[in-house]
Chains A and B, each alone.
Chain A
Amino acid sequence: MRRALLAVFVAIGASSPVAIARAAPEAGEPLASADGSPPAQGFGKRAHFIFGIDNLFGFSSDRFESADGSGGDSDTIDHSGLIPGLFGPRIGLHGVLDSGVTLGANLGMTYLNRFRTGANSSDDADGMFITTVAPRIGYAGSFKPTFGYWVRGGPSLRLIIPDEGKSTHLVGAGFELLGVITPVEHLGVTVGPTFDIGLTGGTGSNNFTYSTYGLSVGLLTDL
């Protein structure tokens, strides 16, 4: 089934990332400048919400492995460039508490449908709905106003629901350690390693896990 799943991915195509933020200064706090100068406060202190794109550019190694623990039956695909990885973009929305703790989730959702027409070939069609839900708890801090960090962790759930046939679910534990460069207010560039360790999953009675690790470059805006 894993190879069939990969074949469908390969045949149809797949992938992309995002994450976001927003903040209002507290009374008495200096307002960040709006003229292109560096922000007055560091990442994690100046905003109440973060909206962003993870994994916009980078490297990813995706691995499907039998759940029997033998490690002898696996498939690995390496990706680099824009939106590396099989499961596409994730748009993230996170709230920032006064303590710097962040609560939010990364979401990805795609529906693909392909069909072929032509007199010299039989018509065929296939499609699938793919979604990723990854709740995250984290901590955002900064070393100085233009350079911060963001550590996040939480479960990752991926569902693949084909138009016909059984659906696939993949459950893992994810962890991201991101450096955040904010040259001007409301813009951040995130760089850092990402990990997702497969815990369980499969299609029907065929059990397998999905794990991935990589180096991610993303964008965010904190508001």
Chain B
Amino acid sequence: MRHRLPLLASLTVTVTVAASTAAAHADELPFGARASTVLVVDHLVGATRTTTTVVDDTKTDDVRYHLTEAGSPFGLVSVPIAGPSLRVGVHQFVTESVSIGAGLQYFSASGSGMKYTIFGFHPRVGFAIPLSPTSAFWLRAGGGYTYWDYAKDSSENDWSVGGEAFYVYTPVSHFGLTFGPMIDHTLSAKYKTDSGRETKLQRTVFGATMGLLFDL
């Protein structure tokens, strides 16, 4: 025991000094290494283009709806022409380079003859490539599920794949900005009316957006 105390003391001192040194240089660590948990607000502003195609087997040509948003993309829609773009998410870095997380959407509105709810879940696997202590690339990809509940018992279920290629700028500790292209493409989307009639849809959202992140 007498031999263990100096060892324990020296180990404690070593760990404390190492932790203090790491803390003192927290801002010098690159994105992905300086924090393990990242809270994000994706697609806060930017320009996006949504194309929704109504796949009707009884017609020779499909009907396409195109929605272009620039500035602060909206999160509110009531008809199947666009997907809400803003998401909040939490990502965990399991290594200094690899992150696992998800973005969430929830929106509900009612009144003046309308009522609908949108819920989305978009899991992502990410890979961070540090360029400097204040900049990095953060590539993310994954799937997605979005449920739209419209008035009069109509609804829509979307399964999609998507990803983002963000440039991350972290000028100060715990705060950063993300810039870059994003895309979401539905693999399966069905709009179902109260009468039971199903309409197949295809939807693609792409654009360049900016968001915020807070790494903890």
Decide if A and B are genuine partners: yes
**B-binding residues in A (CB < 8 A):** 3, 6, 9-16, 18, 33-36, 53, 56-57, 75-84, 86, 88-91, 108-121, 127, 183-187, 219, 221, 223
- What would 9 A/B residue contacts be, using CB atoms closer than 8 Å? A11-B78, A11-B79, A75-B112, A83-B107, A110-B72, A114-B68, A127-B68, A183-B216, A187-B175
Contact A10 B88 (CB under 8 A): no
Task: Give the chain A neighbours of B70 by CB distance below 8 A.
Answer: 110-111
- Residue interface mask B1-43, A partner, CB < 8 A = 1: 0000000000000000000001110110000000100000100
The answer to whether B88 and A110 have CB atoms under 8 Å apart is: no
Q: Does A91 lie within 8 Å of B212, measured CB to CB?
A: no
Would you give the 0/1 interface string for B63-81, flagging 1 where the beta carbon is closer than 8 Å to chain A? 1111111111111111101
B212–A119 CB distance below 8 A: no
Min C-beta distance of A24 to chain B, whole Å:
11
Q: Does B74 lie within 8 Å of A83, measured CB to CB?
A: yes
Those 3 A-B pairs whose CB atoms lie nearest each other, nearest first: A35-B23, A118-B63, A119-B61
A41 to chain B, nearest CB (A): 15
Residue of B nearest to A22 (CB): B172
* A27 to B74 CA separation, bound complex (whole angstroms): 43
Q: Is the CB of A36 within 8 A of B111?
A: no
Distance of A107 Cα from B72 Cα, bound (Å):
10
Does the CB pair B72–A16 fall under 8 Å? yes
Known: A77-B109, A89-B86. A56 touches B72 (CB 8 A): no
A186 and B75 contact, CB distance less than 8 A: no
| B134 CB–A CB distance under 8 Å | no
Pairwise interchain contact A110-B69, C-beta atoms closer than 8 A: yes
A-B contacts besides A13-B74, A16-B75, A81-B107, 8 pairs, CB < 8 Å: A81-B105, A82-B106, A83-B74, A89-B44, A91-B45, A116-B63, A184-B173, A223-B171
Q: How far is the CA of A78 from the CA of B116 in the complex (A)?
A: 11
B82: CB under 8 A from chain A? yes
CA distance A75 to B174 in the complex (A): 42
Q: Separation in Å of the B113 CB from the closest CB of chain A?
A: 9
CB contacts (< 8 Å) of A119 on chain B: these are: 59-61
Q: Are the CB atoms of A113 and B114 closer together than 8 Å?
A: no
Chain A residues with Cβ below 8 Å from B78 are: 10-11, 13
User: B35 to chain A: which residues have CB within 8 Å?
Assistant: 36
**Are the CB atoms of A83 and B75 closer together than 8 Å?**
yes
Of the candidates B63, B68, B74, B87, which one forms a contact with A88 in the assembled complex, judged by CB atoms under 8 Å apart? B74
Contact B82 A117, beta carbon cutoff 8 Å = no
B65 touches A114 (CB 8 A): yes
B76 touches A79 (CB 8 A): yes
Q: Which residue of B lies closest to A36 (CB)?
A: B216
Please state if B76 and A34 are interface contacts (CB–CB under 8 Å): no
**Is B126 in contact with chain A by the CB < 8 A criterion?**
no
Is there contact, CB below 8 Å, between B111 and A76? yes
Chain B residues with CB under 8 A of A77: 109-112, 114
How distant is the Cα of A221 from the Cα of B170 in the complex, in angstroms? Answer: 12
Q: Residue of B at shortest CB range from A62?
A: B111
Q: Are B72 and A89 in contact (CB under 8 A)?
A: yes
Which residues in B have their C-beta under 8 angstroms from that of A33? 23
CA distance A121 to B4 in the complex (A): 84
- CB-CB < 8 A to A56: which residues of B? 41, 88
Given A111-B69, A111-B70, A120-B61 contact (CB < 8 Å): yes
Docked Cα-Cα span, A80 to B76, in Å, equals 11
The answer to whether the Cβ of B84 comes within 8 Å of any Cβ in the partner chain is yes
B105 / chain A contacts, CB cutoff of 8 Å: 81-82
Minimum CB–CB distance for B196 against chain A, Å: 22
B23 touches which one: A34, A76, A111, A183 (CB < 8 A)? A34
Give chain A residues whose Cβ lies under 8 Å from the Cβ of B81. 11, 13, 114
Which residue of B is nearest A59, CB measured? B108
Asked if A91 meets B26 with Cβ closer than 8 Å, knowing A75-B112, A113-B67, the reply is no
